[in-house]
Amino acid sequence: MFDLLHATVLVTGGHGFLGAHVLPALAAAGAARVVAPRAAECDLREVAAVRALLDRERPDAVVHLAANVGGIGANVADPAGMLQDNLLMGIHLLDAARQRGVRKFLTVGTACSYPERCPAPFREETLWDGYPAPETAPYGLAKKMLLALSAALRAQHGFPAIFVLPTNLYGPGDRFDLERGHVVPSLVRKFVEGTDRGDPEVEVWGDGRATREFLHVRDAARGLVDALERYDAPEPVNLGTGCETSIRELAETLARLAGFRGRIAWRTDRPTGQPRRVLEVSRARTAFGFRSRIPLEDGLRETVEAFRRSRAHKGT
């Protein structure tokens, strides 16, 4: 078991959506010192900046959350950036941490790494059985290469690197951006704003048949801290609920929670990504006792309410 009580933990991406929940989860677990530099303070794509950061902070553990990330629209618009940025950040951090004797390194991966036609639920053993869905493949492949590097560093140097693949995350504090946001925050914004304006319809990409699995961000943060403390193996581990929800179900639930009374207009000409995405989650349960706690509808209601409060605060 990794001793957080006497450890300095470096969290990259600590001020992003997931990171903002990982920091208090680490504090609650008793981490002695948590360091979370902002992106403006250290460009992780630059090897000299990464080396200087680790020399300055001398972490015992690294939790690598920082990423160039977004929804399908963002991936389609910038595939090269998704691949290059995420590879560079991960490679520089893993190499510098290994050279400096970091005692635990956790990389956060993505369910986008799984093959497009992977049998559901996705088991970790099937990760290499095919090419990811084209719309998000560059991001998924970059993360999968970091898994390969983590395993190689462990095999060759005994470097204690672990790799966790969360499913789709959602919750308060997400990026409610129609261009770069993921499906939950994008739909929350569409339905709340559509309700407030009295729009007759809201557009949703696809036909609603695609399925996803949704994990509340606080559950995810707790699971990552548990993995940091208690998991130490080269095999990747899924982090999720094991529950599958169609985009149609999601949209109808969010419309109801937002009070939207118009029509949902399905845009079947727009990309929808992988047909099914749900994880097999028994490895996390066995290895470090992880189970999700927040029911989906409760979490979605909280997310809608948080977005409404943020709009009221901004005066919009």
Phi, psi angle pair for 160, to nearest 5°: -80, 70
State the catalytic residue, choosing from 114, 131, 139, 170: 139
Burial class (CB in 10 A: 0-12, 13-18, 19+), 156: exposed
Both tokens of residue 222?
């707790």
b/e per residue 101-140 (b: at least 16 CB within 10 A): ebebbbbbbbbbbbbbebebbbbbeebeeeebbebbbbbb
Those residues with Cβ within 8 angstroms of residue 256's Cβ, 6 or more apart along the chain or in another chain: none
Active site residue 139: yes
Both tokens of residue 2?
């990794």
Those residues with Cβ within 8 angstroms of residue 216's Cβ, 6 or more apart along the chain or in another chain: 169, 170, 171, 292, 294, 299
Residue 195 carries which side chain, given as an amino acid letter? T
Q: Are 112 and 139 in contact (CB under 8 A)?
A: yes
* Alpha-carbon span 229 to 78, nearest angstrom: 35
Residue 272 carries which side chain, given as an amino acid letter? T
Phi, psi angle pair for 216, to nearest 5°: -65, 140
b/e per residue 213-251 (b: at least 16 CB within 10 A): bbbbbbbbbbbbbbbbbebbeeebbbbbbbbbbbbbebb
How far CA 45 is from CA of 48, 115, 191, 254, in Å, comes to 9, 27, 37, 37
Write out the catalytic residue numbers.
139
